[in-house]
Structure 1
């Protein structure tokens, strides 16, 4: 009787463990599916330009990795137990693959941000004059090298390997890595925005009261009023900063509030969720504004070749507008927009 009860308890425990794994698999599938759909939406909403940069290619590679993870989770969830190329895949590999991706994503923010900033700086200063095909190949090579290097580090690091052992993989909790890099990156960006706003809040308020929204070629743009001498003062960082703040917050203000709430509430988001395309485009706009501000003396008003932001139109910050009777003008002809 005792042995029979023990077997029944063991069977019930195994059945409960299996159900929990199925619940985790369904939850991971829904999360990755939602993230993949968000990736497609952001890539579809971005401004279509011929200008290519490192961050743009990396966002595409991230969307591909998320799609690959979704396909793997879907196949394993459907077949549950199968052999492919001599390797047996079970439902436990769903947790294992997601943990590996989580560790990999958690180590990417710093190198990606650094390389993106260097890329924008070199392109703005025109120190690199590679042909278009060579530049695309260079971006492709760098991105492949980053993914392989970080993945190799994750699989060979003793501390990470220990967290990926059978004891953690076969547990019902399936813990995921929370990236400290993403936390400090968000914290640094929010603090820099806060300090920049404090140092120029009066200019920002004055400019917000004077700024107007108009259209050019059926595109909504911001109209910044300029004085007659403003065209000779565009190299001033003090004048440029409030315009950059308004353009940036005008596009990313909801995302800035989200980052502030996450930091204040100390929300721990797994790295496989936190590393996403909206965050990368948010960082991308921040990097472009930073490059503009540090290199405002290099910007030419007559022949301005600026890195094109997929979501923020920065060009209106640099071109002075002196349009008479603007209230009666439907389409300002002096505005050049990408």
Structure 2
């Protein structure tokens, strides 16, 4: 799709404002998770991109000299396409890495590790994600820039790639969450019908069903409108520019969704009841669970 450069500037400006606003709102615990550290790095990259595009676009001669190199609007379009491709390629690696981070936090209580140590580890992983993804885009992918064959001062719009990874990620994780909820419900019913004499197993099944029910309830109470928005995008086949696809709001949604998936799939109810499982920090959902005395025992 072709997008005018002023529209790109407006989109990047709004995205930067959103990124830094959400970083500020999560400032108390943002360095404690991989997604939080990655969100900071994304805000920095978006800001640098917005500054570069704005500087070249508003210059009267249509170009800027930087370290002896002449940067024109050709480079603006090229930079936007490269960054968009990197953002698209980052979607799945970020999801997998953040999912592993949340899984380890819940099952191994990694929140007890010193904040500085966690921040250093998350920063290292974040840097590796950016580096490896950039190398993949430049060396292994079939990415080919699309440039207009006109003088640089006549370029007023850029060809930008669109991303479909957002809907793919959301659909896969939501299906996983739904399957976990269905499995918990069926397991509780199965134990009730076939193992009436095994009170312990039956109690565990009901406790797990309670955890899954509460986790899904908390997630939907917070993100129901966002899910409706994603459904509208899916049904109307709206193309999302790749340079806007990876943003702080999307990462906050992923954080809550991954927490819900990990709690439903990998966290025993007994650990939550006894305080042996740590829930990753979340600025949008309050992950509080209540248990009956039988479930706690």
- Per the alignment, residue 82 of structure 1 pairs with 64
1:20-73 Cα deviation digits (max 9, x unpaired): x9x822111111001111112222334733870111101111111111111111
| 1:42 and 1:277 in contact (8 A); partners too | yes
| 2:63 and 2:71 in contact (8 A); partners too | yes
Gaps of 5+ in 1: 1-20, 202-231, 323-338
Distance in 1 between residues matched to 2:146 and 2:171, nearest whole Å: 29
Distance 1:193 1:268, change over 3 A: farther
1:48 aligns with 2:28: yes
| 2:85 and 2:242 in contact (8 A); partners too | yes
1:199-246 Cα deviation digits (max 9, x unpaired): 889xxxxxxxxxxxxxxxxxxxxxxxxxxxxxx759732222221111
Distance 1:127 1:190, change over 3 A: closer
Distance in 2 between residues matched to 1:260 and 1:61, nearest whole Å: 28
Q: How many residue pairs are counted as aligned between the two chains? A: 269
Q: CA deviation at 1:300?
A: 3.9
Distance in 2 between residues matched to 1:50 and 1:269, nearest whole Å: 27
- Aligned counterparts, 1:236-247, within 5 A: 236-247=207-218
Distance 1:188 1:55, change over 3 A: same
SS in structure 2 opposite 1:26?
helix
Per the normalisation by structure 2, the TM-score is 0.79
Q: Which has the higher contact order (CA 8 A, sep 6+)?
A: 2
| 2:177 and 2:261 in contact (8 A); partners too | no
SS in structure 2 opposite 1:174?
strand
Distance 1:189 1:130, change over 3 A: closer
Distance in 1 between residues matched to 2:44 and 2:181, nearest whole Å: 37
1:95-145 Cα deviation digits (max 9, x unpaired): 111111100000011110101111111122227675433322121111111
1:113 aligns with 2:113: no
